[in-house]
Structure 1
Amino acid sequence: MKISYNPETDVLNIYFQESPVEKREREQPDRILDYDKNGNLVRLEILNASQRVANPQRVEYYVISPNPVPEEGKPISLSDRRAFMQLPLEERRRILAAQ
């Protein structure tokens, strides 16, 4: 995945894969979705990004391991993972930094 932001045009692009675009849909006046020949999402383009995204120049990226094992030795459940994602961003950062 690749993310680019152009402050001059105020356009944010999120590329999910590098495939030729076969179909383009305007989901909203400010969102454009590009698809490949198999219907897979190739790119999301957000126009006027500074009005739609809190800070288009900042990216945070998390990878959640499919079967993380906490110190107690039992796998983390899906509901525990969802609960973690519902925590405020600063709390999640604190927890991840402690790990």
Structure 2
Amino acid sequence: MTGQSTRRWLQLSFLLMAGSASAGSLKLSDFESISDKSFPETCVQAYDTPLSQCTPKDFTDGKACSAACKDSVQQAQGFIQASCGDVSASSESLLSRGQKGNLVAVL
């Protein structure tokens, strides 16, 4: 039952991402929000950098995302590394993975 619940949650997440993409570019917060109010505003802004070359299709077809999308993710990752260096985040979070330079591999 857990597998079905996870699958259903992912499907709903992709639907929400599609709605977000039609309203504007995808952001990391469309996948996983950061809600800690103690994070510096510059870090939150870096995390919310639009992934301007990414579409929901980059994450839903079961294939690797496009080269242009990877470039957008790497750009956001650079902003995260520059702005969130002193922030402590869960090792499994997208923020932590961005700090370590692992975002493209994760997404």
Please classify the TM superposition score into its range, dividing by the shorter chain length. under 0.3
TM-score by length of 2: 0.22
As a proportion of its length, which structure holds more strand? 1
Q: State the structure with more CA Rg.
A: 1
As a proportion of its length, which structure holds more helix? 2
